[in-house]
Amino acid sequence: MAGTRSSARRAGNSSSPPRSPKSVAGTKRKPEAEPSPKRGRKATKKQATIEETMGVTKGEDGEMEDVASDEGQNAKQEEPENVDEDLVDASDANALSTGDDATNKDTDSAAKAETGTQDKHENEPVKQDAHENKSDSAAESSTNNGEGAIEESSQRAKEVPSNILEKGVIYFFTRNRVGIEDSDSIGDLQRTFFVLRPMPTGAKLGDGALADQDNNRLFALPKKVFPKSHNDRFMAFVERANTTVKDLKDFFSADEYETKTQGARRTEPVAPVAEGVYAITRTEDRTTHLVYSTTIPSALGEVQEDLGIKDQGSFIISVKNPERSGPAASQLPQKPGFPKDIIEEFRGLAWSEVKPKYLDYAYCQILLIGENLDKGVQPTQKDQKHDKETPQEELEKLEHEDELRVEHLHGDDSIYDDLKISKKDYPQVPTTW
């Protein structure tokens, strides 16, 4: 049987010495079954365009303007609390550089236009316990509609590391510029997106497509690429929160509209470029991290490499205090609507470590800083003392489960089943431009 990326990693770890207090790689888990080989992927050039599905402000060529911008080089990456002191502030014009946005001056008006398609409930908070570490009984609500992809597991609830704040399935998408049906490079993209679909931290992935719940979050990445190193610090924001995949289909789909100067224009549908599993972790240096492991496509290609999507990746992730202004180029037209208790948790700082409940508000701005995976999966000393699994082991276990799940669906095509979209209406997952 052919091996998968996760099984190869486990094989490489099998001869490692016993875990020391500083070790982060997981080796003690043995898969319940040998991972199924991933189906060979179909590399196609066709990719989606990103434009005005949301009624976005358009430039002369009808393209959407970038809203967020690159983060400055003077951030203290390891301590979000200290980053707050050094990053965005109205008095520090050098805290944020505009990067690609230097060519898009009308960012504020572009962002304002994006508000047109926001759901009415996006700024309403989701119940906090939906994103806290919960008992596995909460997983019962995730197995509705006859879809049992998320299963209860009392054993998993006991093993899950205490510093995993949230886990689930992650998807990556791109959309091309208006008028570009087939993209040849990053320059042909208008924007990159990713979606987080949380699941109870004590649950496991079983067979079947994921049930559609209203806890999905759509993030926009105006920079179009993910941070590839510790020197890359890119802004992103919650485009939609508390939403279902059914609602996101309107955003994902193609759209046609009329312009006064160029007549009929068409926005192509988004292109799925990767799927995987993720976890939000909090390490003992008081930083939070978004770590992920991809399962689709079965073999990453130049498209994923150019976008900064890796086999396994990690970012330091921080949330911006909406009460602190910062440079105009990085401001959104609407604040995330945090309640008073969340604002107080910032303690007046410009940036804070992430709590999953923060991400349940549209227009929540986040900062992603590139880092090595081992930084984001460090276990706590307390968990090591009690011989609990590490975040690395939980991530690999979740990846293995997702590999089996998607293989039992339709291999690399299973992303269309999860998203309830028709493959004929959307580009295939590309690996080459």
Task: Summarize pLDDT for 28-41 with one digit per residue, the tens.
Answer: 444 444 444 444 44
For residues 7 and 428, the model is more confident at 428
Q: What is the DSSP-derived secondary structure letter of residue 65?
A: P
CB of 322 closer than 8 Å to CB of 345: no
Residue 313 has phi, psi (to 5 degrees) of: -140, 170
Sole residue written with tokens 């999953």: 356
So where are the chain's domains? 5-13+27-425
CA 414/CA 191 separation, integer angstroms: 23
> Residue 209: its pLDDT value, please?
92
CA dihedral 407, 410, 414, 416 (to 10 degrees): 180
> Rg of the Cα trace of the chain?
21
CA 431/CA 227 separation, integer angstroms: 19
Structure tokens at 426: 């959307």
Structure tokens at 110: 């572009």
Q: For 212-255, how does the pLDDT look when each residue is reduced to its tens digit (9 = 90+)?
A: 999 999 999 999 999 999 999 999 999 999 999 999 998 999 88
Stretch 50-70: mean pLDDT, rounded? 40
Percent of the chain with pLDDT over 90: 54
Q: What value does the mean pLDDT of the chain take?
A: 76
CA 349/CA 4 separation, integer angstroms: 44
For residues 288 and 124, the model is more confident at 288
**In three state form, how does the secondary structure of 207-232 look?**
CCCCCCCCCEEEEEECCCCCCCCCCC
Q: For 153-173, how does the pLDDT look when each residue is reduced to its tens digit (9 = 90+)?
A: 899 999 999 999 999 999 999
> Residue 378: its pLDDT value, please?
97
pLDDT above 70 for 79: no
How far is Cα of residue 82 from the mean position of the Cα atoms in its chain? 24
CA 88/CA 95 separation, integer angstroms: 5
How far is Cα of residue 99 from the mean position of the Cα atoms in its chain? 21
Q: Does the pTM exceed 0.75? A: no
> Residue 268: its pLDDT value, please?
86
